[in-house]
Chains A and B, each alone.
Chain A
Amino acid sequence: NAGVTQTPKFRILKIGQSMTLQCTQDMNHNYMYWYRQDPGMGLKLIYYSVGAGITDKGEVPNGYNVSRSTTEDFPLRLELAAPSQTSVYFCASSPGTGGVGYGYTFGSGTRLTVV
């Protein structure tokens, strides 16, 4: 059981380039999330999805886009990369309606550097 898989693990982008961070889960979880973590800081929620076809903004959505065409996949798109987007990105999923006892499962992260 792979859990939550993120690719790539590392990436260096030039300013203005675009890329897609991939996230897939094999647990049939309805809820999926994208967080970013800057050095020495906690995680900040970028976007989340409560099911296929439904997405919503989190705390820091500017500069990002998401889509959720299937239950398994929740890609994060960066358009026109900026140095401020240098961070570690974590994808997570949770089952059911996000209720009690359903802890999040996190991926291992994508470390992105924009130069």
Chain B
Amino acid sequence: DAKTTQPTSMDCAEGRAANLPCNHSTISGNEYVYWYRQIHSQGPQYIIHGLKNNETNEMASLIITEDRKSSTLILPHATLRDTAVYYCIVRAYYGGSQGNLIFGKGTKLSVKP
């Protein structure tokens, strides 16, 4: 079973920041937080990951709370093309079965004009 809890759906106005929350209260010390998104039946796309520090790349920012029990993915200026299902996943550092990605149902983000 997925180790994360996300809202089922969210709406965001085009051009505004989209803030997607994720709870992972049972995260362990060797697990990272990963975010993927899936645009309309395409294969999932990697967005960003982090351990305990905030991270930023060209797609998004990831804010992880100090206790690591929750995180927020931020899309700073959402566009219609950001409409997708967003998956928050916790994953162990090392390989083998504990390093496999386990997907929950994710959050369906709808960006509206």
Residue among B2, B42, B94 making CB contact with A42, cutoff 8 Å: B2
Q: Is A77 an interface residue (CB 8 A)?
A: no
In the complex, the answer to whether B44 meets A88 with C-beta atoms within 8 Å is no
- Could you tell me the distance between the alpha carbons of A58 and B101 in the complex, rounded to whole angstroms? 10
- Could you tell me the distance between the alpha carbons of A28 and B6 in the complex, rounded to whole angstroms? 34
Given A43-B103, A44-B103, is A107 in contact with B43 using a C-beta cutoff of 8 Å?
Answer: yes
Residue among A42, A58, A100, A106 making CB contact with B100, cutoff 8 Å: A58
In the complex, the answer to whether A50 meets B104 with C-beta atoms within 8 Å is no
- B93 proximity list for chain A (CB < 8 A): 99-100
- A31 proximity list for chain B (CB < 8 A): 95
- Chain B interface residue count, CB cutoff 8 Å, equals 26
- A43 proximity list for chain B (CB < 8 A): 44, 101, 103
In the complex, the answer to whether B99 meets A98 with C-beta atoms within 8 Å is yes
In the complex, the answer to whether B43 meets A42 with C-beta atoms within 8 Å is no
In the complex, the answer to whether B43 meets A97 with C-beta atoms within 8 Å is no
- A4 proximity list for chain B (CB < 8 A): 43
In the complex, the answer to whether B43 meets A106 with C-beta atoms within 8 Å is yes
| A residues neighboring B (CB under 8 Å) | 4, 31, 33, 35, 40-45, 48, 50, 56, 58-59, 88, 90, 92, 96-101, 103-109
Question: What are 21 A-B pairs with beta-carbon distances under 8 A?
Answer: A42-B2, A45-B100, A45-B102, A50-B96, A58-B100, A90-B43, A90-B44, A97-B95, A98-B94, A98-B95, A98-B100, A99-B99, A100-B32, A100-B51, A100-B93, A103-B34, A104-B36, A104-B46, A104-B101, A106-B43, A107-B43
